[in-house]
Structure 1
């Protein structure tokens, strides 16, 4: 079955209009930008701080907005109609992900300009960010499908924003508590490791394992998203 870009665009256009009317959700865009301004006024911004802002953007903009868009559809009881429409799973999820995807790119670029982040190897960072976005889009979709309202989505998403937005701070605990070593494999931590390697002059051939780990997270979450979507479709 071939993708219908007309259907994808229609879904994207509808979500864009709905989001522009929802100031509560769209105001989330301000949070990482304010954070970027705060850090930019603190003097020299380290890689750790650059990616604290970027990871916060991925968690709050990419994942939360995606979650809220899906949850709002459920709250308005329009998601069921979309599921029963001729649009396929891929078309629906692609159309509903494009808004969050483009807003994330805009937010990351704006934050990078504010903090003055200029990666040494932009292609590597760009690939890592795109893969990371796929993970966060899948995560947001799952949480949206499991939420009944936007308000409920906001509450249950707070721990996720903390874990993936400020999760790099948890690395300090690994030395004291070896049982928490799994934290080092979280997508946000892998992204920071890639950034450090890039600044050290390394390229694709040196960070491929980190990229594979990121891709594995994205694939697993995408498969889980399809499973949850199908389950909700049959409920």
Structure 2
């Protein structure tokens, strides 16, 4: 468990610093700074868990790098898939992808938003984060028992 937490902490810190620098350089000002920070924290944990899950099924670093590609494509490409929802109704399910919810949260204007506008995306991202984190911890523990 120490290895899992240690590696995750390093990824978390590097990701947070990179996002903070990018946000500063781009001059982005969120409608709610606390919702923005919470969503970013949840997202970093979520993607770390997804990467851990892919890594647990890989035997080499090359396999891990390749196995994360489809997951990254689905999770980060979901906002583009939503654009196809009018033509292909199956893509409407992507509306609940964490990256789409993050986009919704980032698009909220500084004036005229409600707490509900902030909570829905945060709760969906939180749900994804909790589920993937639990799955990654369970798979990690099973992998340790297999060895």
With normalisation by structure 2, the TM-score equals 0.89
What is the alpha-carbon root mean square deviation over aligned residues? 1.7
The CA distance in 2 between the partners of 1:120 and 1:195, in whole Å, is 8
* Correspondence for 1:37: none
Counterpart check, 1:167 vs 2:81: no
Cα deviation for residue 228 of structure 1 reads 0.7
Counterpart check, 1:214 vs 2:110: no
* Correspondence for 1:99: 10
**1:114 equivalent among 25, 31, 49:** 25
- 1:124–1:204 contact (8 Å) kept in structure 2: no
Cα deviation for residue 206 of structure 1 reads 3.0
The equivalences for 1:1-235 within 5 A come to 89=1, 91-199=2-110, 201-235=112-146
- 2:96–2:124 contact (8 Å) kept in structure 1: yes
The CA distance in 1 between the partners of 2:138 and 2:46, in whole Å, is 15
Q: 1:121 to 1:207 in 2, by over 3 A?
A: closer
The CA distance in 1 between the partners of 2:100 and 2:138, in whole Å, is 27
**Structure with bigger gyration radius:** 1
Q: Secondary structure at the match of 2:28?
A: coil
Q: 1:145 to 1:131 in 2, by over 3 A?
A: same
With normalisation by structure 1, the TM-score equals 0.58
- 2:81–2:94 contact (8 Å) kept in structure 1: yes
Stretches of structure 2 that go unaligned for 5 or more consecutive residues are none
